[in-house]
Structures are given as structure tokens and as C-alpha cells.
Structure 1
Amino acid sequence: MELDHIIPPPVSFYFQVEFVGPLDIKDMAFMEVSGLTMELETQEIDMGGGHKRVVPVRQKHGNFICKRPLHEVFMSDLSSWVDSVMHQGVNTAIVPCDLIVKLLDAAGNPQCAWYIKGAYPVKWDIAGFDSKKNEVALETIEFAYDTNRRIM
């Protein structure tokens, strides 16, 4: 095996999140993202004679969660969309957006990417304030979505 052809695995701290869709949201700089999960639910079927078989039932996934420093005094495009969805709630149709999450190499080239379809905010949270700590105020935005799939 030649050692000069070994490609190191990508690092998880260099990533990018982009909106693809009807809203013009450019402020997608996050400190942390999570929730790119997929799970296949199964059901156990009794086949008789003590034999059981496990079969797939449906795919499910968690919510996509993004953390970032609390935005400045004026609300950003993303903050405005989240605020609008949270205040209108179920009384108004929610405009979903698609997201692309890219894991980048040191030169900024995508190494892996995931397409998240039909995302919309379902939870907004701000980390607690503590006068004894010298930490950046963080907000967390959680998105429900229809599907995610790896595209590269």
C-alpha cells in the first residue's frame, strides 16, 4: 500500500449551510449543526412455529438543529423568517425551504453534501444568560423537514 495516496477523512468543523428555495436568506453561518439522521423503523412479524421476521416499515429522521451566535440588534433574514413562522403558527401557510449542508476540506472544496427538502423552523431557543460566565450568547434554531439525502 502506498502511503502517498491515502486521503485523510474530512474534518467536521469546516462546513457550510445554504438555502435553496423561495426565500432569499444569506445569513447561514452556524457554529454547529446536527440532526442529519435517518432511521428505518421496523416491525416484527410472527411467522409461526417460533420464527419471527423483522421487516422495514417506514423511514424517519430527527429535526435539523443549527446553533449560532445571537444576531445583532437588527434581525437577519433568517431571524425574521423564524420569527414570522413562530408568530403565525398554524394559522398561516408556512413557506418551507430546502437546505444544502456541505462538509468542506481545508481549501473550501465540498467533500460531502446533504440535501434537506422542505425545511421550516419549529423551535427557537436562546441559551441561558449567566453573569458569572464570559460566553457568547447562542441561539438554536430547529427545523422539521420532509427528507434528507446525501448528494455527494
Structure 2
Amino acid sequence: MNPKFTLLKAALAAGSAFSFAGHDPYMAYNFVVEIGGVLIGGFSEVSGLSSEIDLESYEEGGLNDYVHKFPKHTTCPNLILSRGLVRIDLFYLWYQATSQGLVQQLSGTIFLLNSQQIPVMWWVFKKAYPVKWEGPQFNASSEEIAIERIELVHQGLSKLQRFA
């Protein structure tokens, strides 16, 4: 049997056993981000943690009940990281260098933490670089924190989990 199918079967069995344990869901605000080996804190939002399999349709002659659909390749949207604007402007410098042709691809990890601040799940993205930077929106009647956003294109996303 294919080792990947064996692993999938084992994961499904383990997930079935864990589903009866009554664990509370993890809180979405409890996360940290690492890029290029450096833990970068203070993020208020991360979006783009998704993946989709593109399909190819095939209509078989003489069979009009349905259309066959076959997986082609997997695509991932860009990651968008938002954080409070700070004095050390690494994101803008990274974006500016990229816009001038000095592309530095960095891999990173987004860690979901439990209530004891221990990583329980993480998403690893490979060879990312910025394609968009967005500065804060100013409003004199607001008391909100100034937020900057950076959008990263990457070459794949994988999800890992701690089972202890």
C-alpha cells in the first residue's frame, strides 16, 4: 500500500479518537509569526491561509449523467499580514527592495498557540516575497492603532500539528 495512504488512514483514526476528547476550539487571536528565522511579534491579523485544488473537467462521450473531474494542481492565495506600525520598518524596506528588483525570498511559519502559549498547529509557507505594502489609514477622530499590511506571494503552504 502507498505510504501516503497509510499515513492518511492513521491520521483519520487518530482524529476520530481525538474528536471524543471534548477539546475546546483554539482562539484565533493567539498566534505568532516567524519569517526568515526571526520571530516577528505584534500581528493583529493573518489572512490567506487556504489552498484549493484546481480541477479539469472531462465529458465522456455517450455518458450524459455527469462530467468527470480530475485534480490538476493546487493553488494558494497570497498571505496578508497586518500589524501595528512600529519604528523599525522591516516590511517596507523588504517591499521597497523587491520593487527595485532585489527579490529576497524568505520562508516562514504562522504558529497557533494554546492558552499556555504553546504552539499546537502551524502553517509553513515557502519562498515568500512582498508584492504589496499598505500603510496606515489616518483618522483624527479615531483612537485605533496605525496598521500596516504586507502581502506575500509564496510557493506553497503546509499545515502541521502537534499531537501531544
What's the RMSD between the two structures over aligned residues?
1.9
Instruction: Measure how far apart 1:93 and its partner are.
Output: 4.4
Letter of the 2:96 counterpart: D
The one-letter code of the counterpart of 2:40 is D
Q: Match of 1:61, as an amino acid?
A: C
Q: Can you list the C-alpha shifts for 1:88-128, whole angstroms capped at 9, x where unaligned? A: 1xxx3411010111100111111111110011111001242
The alignment of Structure 1 onto Structure 2 pairs a total of residues equal to 140
Maintained 8 Å contact 2:97/2:103:
no
5+ residue gaps, structure 1, are none
Q: 1:115 to 1:26 in 2, by over 3 A?
A: closer
Q: Identity across aligned pairs (percent)?
A: 27
Q: Compared with structure 1, are the counterparts of its residues 110 and 101 closer, same or farther at alpha carbon in structure 2 (3 Å cutoff)?
A: same
1:115 aligns with 124
Name the one with the larger strand percent. Answer: 1
Kindly indicate which of the two structures has a greater share of residues assigned to helix.
2
SS in 2 for 1:36: coil
Question: TM-score normalised to the size of structure 1?
Answer: 0.83
**When the two structures are superposed, what TM-score results if normalisation uses the length of structure 2?**
0.77
The equivalent residue for 1:125 is 134
Alignment of 1:97-108 (within 5 A): 97-108=106-117
1:19 to 17, 32, 35: 35
Q: What residue number does 1:55 align with?
A: 70
Structure 1 CA distance for aligned equivalents of residues 77 and 157 of structure 2 = 10
1:88-103 to structure 2, matched below 5 A, reads 88=100, 92-103=101-112
The residue aligned with 1:30 is 43
* 1:117 and 1:146 in contact (8 A); partners too: yes
Distance 2:67 2:40 in 1: 51
**Runs of 4 or more off by more than 4 Å in structure 1?**
none
